[in-house]
Structure 1
Amino acid sequence: MMLVLGGGPAGRLASIRAADAGEQVVLIEKRSLGGQCLHDGCMQVCGFNDIARMIQSARVAERSGATHGVPEVDFPGMLAGVAAIQMDIAAILEQETRSAGVEIIYGAEGRIEDGEAIVGGNAMNADTIIIATGSRPHIPDIPGIGLPGIFTPHTLRNMQNLPERIGIIGGGIMAAEFAYIFSSLGSETHIFSRSDFLHQIPHRLAKEARRDLGSVTIHEHSGVSEIIGRDRVTGICADGATIDLDCVLIAAGLIPNSGMVTGVEKGYNGTILVNNRFETSVPGIFACGDVIGEPCLTPVARLQGIAAADAALGRDVSVDLACLPRSMSLGYEYTWCDECEEDGVTLTMPGPAGPGTFWSVADRRTGISSLTVNGDSGRILEFAQASPAAGVMGMYMGYLAKKGESIHNMASIFEVHPTSDGMYTAIKYTDARLSKHKTTISSQDR
């Protein structure tokens, strides 16, 4: 019997993969299926962001004279609506997982103690164990961190009302996404970043993101020395100044959720160490997903879950994370792949007017597309885009980059028109530019 701890993307896909191969699989999950992605991360952000974009779109339309009035958010209603849809999705995931032949045990806490599985306080015999317990918010050690009025993405559902003033501790993607949401909903929003804000994304996209976050006060290189308050949060002390706030959101990254596992070798922050077959230091115990460290991304967790199940079944395993697209959701979708160390030719251009950008032309806010290719072969090296269509574009561009595709083979592409995706224009323009350069050199050689 195979025992899987955790019903998020990694654990659920591992369970289904093993069950499809005829293995008896028991999946342990404390709450409903879907993991952090569904309940605290990606889908929660999607739900909030959709409402934030609706409100921002209404503001643009009103400024353009096309409409009158901007809707007022019902914050408790929004939270309830998101929770209801999350439960709908969880039910679909459960049906899919059970249909594959997986037995699901809800509400029990699974632990691994010195290589032995403990479920609900009782030992459970298993031939193979897959640990897929995910990650949890990193909570910085700051005086006042335990005050009422401090939230993480995992506890936002307990926020009763939209705050007038919110402080967000963190300077990465998570902080930016929630800053866009709360500022769009009408909260005075402050970001406190220890280093350069959004330093982990391409510079051109970070510049575009600041435009999306134009109403947010960003405190860069800011050391939060204390969260102030008696009965609840009233402010933050940073760099000698005090900023009055109604609540604080901790968005300072994720750490592996491995506290319930002992007896296997761990690394920094509790990361469970595995080899290239996702085997831990204990024979018969595998681990996958966020609990083995970065990148903490749902597509990676799914891929690792499938691979861990294959390894447990004795199959060959190969996981290639090259040309992995990343994403962020603000006013537009942001997608990029910038891990190539090879130099190339880069073109950056504004996005076209189209669905989702037409009314932003007056503000010159149609997004951007950036493409880097090998100057000789035209092979795709890196790309970045901010647009309503960036998510779909990034998925396929990442695949083409991994396969070594050249823009010269893509120059005859027919775009779907109208579109707000400007990458097809970047491809055609770069192809023409490189081809002209080669023709000029060839003529000079003759």
Structure 2
Amino acid sequence: MDSFDIAVIGGGPGGYTAAEKAARLGKRVVLFEERELGGTCLNRGCIPTKALLRSAEAYHKARKSSDLGVSVRGVELDTRAMHERKSQVVETLRDGVASLMLRNGVTVVPERAMIVAPHLIKTSEQEFEAENIIVATGSVPAIPPIEGIRLSGVYTSDDLLSNDAPSFSSIVIVGGGVIGLEFASMYSAFGIDVSIVEAADRILPTFDKEVSQRMGTALKKRGVEINVRCRVTSFAGEPGAIQVAFEDKKGNPQCLKADGILVAVGRTPSTRGLFEEGAEPHLERGALVVDELGQTSIPNIYAIGDVRYHGIQLAHVAAAQAENVVSVILGMKPEIDEHLVPGCVYTFPEIAQVGMTEIQAKESGIEVVRAKALASANGKCLIEGVDVGMAKVVAEKETGKILGAQLVCPHATDMIAELALAIRNNLTVADLVSAIHPHPTVSEMIRDAAAQLL
């Protein structure tokens, strides 16, 4: 039987980060991944979605290029080439992960793993012993118990990111969260009719309310229909003529028909078949319950990423938790603040936020001030053809310490790290303003918002 210091189950951003760090620090590490290295994020999530969004952006800009004084005729969408490019990006990054494991001496086992005892893991043919185990098995698309949910023509995000994904002239997206809005942005940029059906009273219900409002305005300008406070009751039909029945906010029955329906109502922790019966630690709703150190109810078994109960399902959170859990196992102090998490949505324009919203700060008993700068007054935004957006900064009234920020603008996902660093280091609005921001840039909106609070 092979013996290791640390066994990692799951080869996504959390799993391969944990394996690389532990091996780099001298531990003998084995990584189990039954599918492709890189996990959901690299193969069926973050990366392929953004690759397709880049194609959507290029197609939309080409069609609208006359606004810039450039005449382009005969713009066509080559879906096969688009998916080939997406696959090339994925393959390049996947090869990079494999190379990273090889360089650091991580043993990669491309099989499904089951934990049968606190220190024992088995695959179909072998058993492995490990002093510590890190579970990083991620999540799968949630499938709500709705009549007709298994019909052909009703898809998950996994289905629509495959190379043989169907083409649509119209689509209904059930779910107005991050995944739903990214697909809505992509399909609307391709000129496809898009309707969103959301159960909450607004899209992006976990984001700042004004962010939701401004994103709603941007989507509607692109022709996206948004229905909120709706309860989906059933699906019926077939591909090309599939329909969703729902009750609207007044309780009246409604129906939308489209070529396809995307169900994007969240993700479910992936723990099915992970533990032999009787060997599992404490789980809630299929997710692993952990303490502040990432430790489950079995002391040598840890969990990171989407598989955690009440976890934040983001790739960069999984990677941060991986860094910290490995530090804990090795007797080192965790260095990354897991509570300060930037949230990003890759829509048109992009969305990013970090720290507290104004409402959250007030609910915590903090007296706050806030200010915003608008995209319509920013030179770079107008140059890029964006006039719907903002940068909002929330600060403590007495000290000026930055508590949170929300961005709706081009390059928001690249800019948010500046604000995360400011919050992490207890910087004030004066500190932000004292740093020269180049002109013309979208980042000037951050300084302009902060300057209003001096």
User: Which TM-score applies when normalising by structure 1?
Assistant: 0.90
Rate the CA distance shift 1:396–1:305 in 2: closer, same or farther, 3 A: same
Question: Which of 268, 271, 274 is matched with 1:255 structurally?
Answer: 268
Rate the CA distance shift 1:113–1:303 in 2: closer, same or farther, 3 A: same
Q: Tell me how far apart the structure 2 counterparts of residues 230 and 368 of structure 1 sit (CA, whole Å).
A: 41
Q: Which residue of 1 aligns with 2:331?
A: 314
Which amino acid is 1:238 matched to?
F
Rate the CA distance shift 1:44–1:50 in 2: closer, same or farther, 3 A: same
Aligned-residue offset at 1:121: 4.6
Q: Tell me how far apart the structure 2 counterparts of residues 23 and 62 of structure 1 sit (CA, whole Å).
A: 58
Aligned-residue offset at 1:429: 3.1
Aligned-residue offset at 1:49: 1.2
Contact between 1:58 and 1:70, CA under 8 Å: does it hold in 2?
no
Contact between 2:321 and 2:338, CA under 8 Å: does it hold in 1?
no
Question: Which of 420, 425, 437 is matched with 1:403 structurally?
Answer: 425
| Secondary structure at the counterpart of residue 360 of structure 1 | coil
Which amino acid is 1:395 matched to?
A
Report which stretch shifted further, 29-38 or 336-345: 336-345
Q: Which residue of 2 aligns with 1:223?
A: 231
Q: Which residue of 1 aligns with 2:250?
A: none
The yes-or-no answer on 1:346 pairing with 2:370 is: yes
Contact between 2:371 and 2:450, CA under 8 Å: does it hold in 1?
no
Q: Tell me how far apart the structure 2 counterparts of residues 98 and 331 of structure 1 sit (CA, whole Å).
A: 38
Which amino acid is 1:198 matched to?
L
Alignment of 1:157-196 (within 5 A): 157=162, 159-196=164-201
Contact between 1:264 and 1:272, CA under 8 Å: does it hold in 2?
no
Contact between 2:153 and 2:239, CA under 8 Å: does it hold in 1?
no
Contact between 1:310 and 1:317, CA under 8 Å: does it hold in 2?
yes
The yes-or-no answer on 1:57 pairing with 2:79 is: no
Q: Which residue of 1 aligns with 2:321?
A: 304
* RMSD after superposition: 2.1
Aligned-residue offset at 1:149: 2.1
Question: Which of 110, 113, 125 is matched with 1:110 structurally?
Answer: 113
Contact between 1:150 and 1:233, CA under 8 Å: does it hold in 2?
no
Aligned-residue offset at 1:140: 0.8
Aligned-residue offset at 1:302: 0.6
Contact between 1:5 and 1:130, CA under 8 Å: does it hold in 2?
yes
Aligned-residue offset at 1:127: 2.2
The yes-or-no answer on 1:13 pairing with 2:35 is: no
Rate the CA distance shift 1:97–1:269 in 2: closer, same or farther, 3 A: same
Alignment of 1:16-415 (within 5 A): 16-63=20-67, 65-69=69-73, 71-106=75-110, 108-115=111-118, 116-156=120-160, 157=162, 159-196=164-201, 197-214=203-220, 215-229=223-237, 234-239=242-247, 240-262=253-275, 263-293=279-309, 294-317=311-334, 319-339=336-356, 340=361, 341=364, 342-351=366-375, 352-355=377-380, 357-360=382-385, 364-365=387-388, 367-415=389-437
| Secondary structure at the counterpart of residue 433 of structure 2 | coil
Q: Tell me how far apart the structure 2 counterparts of residues 70 and 389 of structure 1 sit (CA, whole Å).
A: 29
Q: Tell me how far apart the structure 2 counterparts of residues 154 and 357 of structure 1 sit (CA, whole Å).
A: 35
Which amino acid is 1:199 matched to?
P
Aligned-residue offset at 1:87: 0.7
Rate the CA distance shift 1:46–1:34 in 2: closer, same or farther, 3 A: same
User: Which TM-score applies when normalising by structure 2?
Assistant: 0.88
Q: Tell me how far apart the structure 2 counterparts of residues 198 and 126 of structure 1 sit (CA, whole Å).
A: 41
Aligned-residue offset at 1:344: 1.0
Contact between 2:153 and 2:238, CA under 8 Å: does it hold in 1?
no
Q: Which residue of 2 aligns with 1:435?
A: none
Aligned-residue offset at 1:382: 1.6
| Secondary structure at the counterpart of residue 95 of structure 1 | helix
| Secondary structure at the counterpart of residue 136 of structure 1 | strand
Contact between 1:148 and 1:233, CA under 8 Å: does it hold in 2?
no
Aligned-residue offset at 1:253: 0.7
Q: Tell me how far apart the structure 2 counterparts of residues 286 and 257 of structure 1 sit (CA, whole Å).
A: 15
Contact between 1:222 and 1:238, CA under 8 Å: does it hold in 2?
yes
Which amino acid is 1:427 matched to?
A
Contact between 1:337 and 1:383, CA under 8 Å: does it hold in 2?
yes
Contact between 2:175 and 2:197, CA under 8 Å: does it hold in 1?
yes
Deviations 1:274-306 (A, max 9, x none): 222222222322211111142111121111112
Q: Tell me how far apart the structure 2 counterparts of residues 376 and 386 of structure 1 sit (CA, whole Å).
A: 27
Q: Which residue of 2 aligns with 1:417?
A: 439
Q: Count the aligned residue pairs.
A: 427
Q: Tell me how far apart the structure 2 counterparts of residues 311 and 174 of structure 1 sit (CA, whole Å).
A: 33
Deviations 1:335-382 (A, max 9, x none): 112534323111122125444641526xx33x2111111222211112
Q: Tell me how far apart the structure 1 counterparts of residues 407 and 116 of structure 2 sit (CA, whole Å).
A: 46
